[in-house]
Amino acid sequence: MKAIKTLLSIVLILSFTHCKTICLTKSPPFKVTDATYNNWIGGQPGVSGIKVIITVGLDEEITFDKMYFYGKSTTIQRKSTTNKAYLIGHFNTSKRIKLERIIKKQPVKKKKTKNVKGIFPFELNENEAVISYNKGAKMFYYKVSNLKKTKTNFYP
């Protein structure tokens, strides 16, 4: 009887964890026509980031939410023309804040974030990103593969 209870509790635990997995859509209601990313370096030491631009052709109204790339997530900025949308994600990779804390000898406060290694919801290669979007009241996720890396931008 004890073995049956243990087995039943394991099955229940596995079923609850299965509900939390995020399923990726294979056929979204838009077409990705271009996807690029590039590093950028600011004029101050330690200031840098990555900019991802995904161009999509739209046939219907879709609300884009977040972009996941490089182990981080950010809110999507959308710029549109008549039948195209540019989904832009800015990912901060700056070390400036860490340098300022070291210089000022301030204690480093632990940052609570969901995107720590091991908790990031997707396993992505360096040239892959995931975008989340709403269609109606339902959230969907789509993986964009083969992002092309363009040259690094240096800002004064």
pTM of the predicted model as reported, rounded to 2 decimal places: 0.71
Is residue 9 within a helix (H) or strand (E), and if so which, with residue range?
helix 2-19
40 with 51: CB under 8 angstroms? yes
What is the residue range of 145's domain? Answer: 25-154
For residue 103, tell me if it sits in a domain: yes
For residue 149, tell me if it sits in a domain: yes
For residue 145, tell me if it sits in a domain: yes
Tokens read off for 82: 């008549």
For residue 19, tell me if it sits in a domain: no
For residue 9, tell me if it sits in a domain: no
Tokens read off for 113: 């974030």
Q: Output the pLDDT for position 82.
A: 79
Backbone angles phi, psi at 29, to 5 degrees: -80, 25
For residue 121, tell me if it sits in a domain: yes
Per-10-residue mean pLDDT of the chain, 156 residues long, equals 66 50 83 94 88 88 90 92 89 72 53 49 90 90 94 91
97 with 64: CB under 8 angstroms? no
Taken in order 52, 144, 78, 89, the sign of the CA dihedral is negative
Cβ-based neighbours of 73, under 8 Å, separated by 6 or more: 66, 67, 114, 115
For residue 15, tell me if it sits in a domain: no
Domain count, the chain: 1
Q: Output the pLDDT for position 107.
A: 54
Q: Output the pLDDT for position 10.
A: 64
Tokens read off for 156: 């004064």
CA distances from residue 45 to 67, 93, 99, 116, 156 in whole angstroms, order as listed: 27, 12, 9, 25, 11
Cβ-based neighbours of 10, under 8 Å, separated by 6 or more: none
For residue 18, tell me if it sits in a domain: no
At 150, which CATH number? Answer: 2.60.40
d(CA 140, CA 132): 6
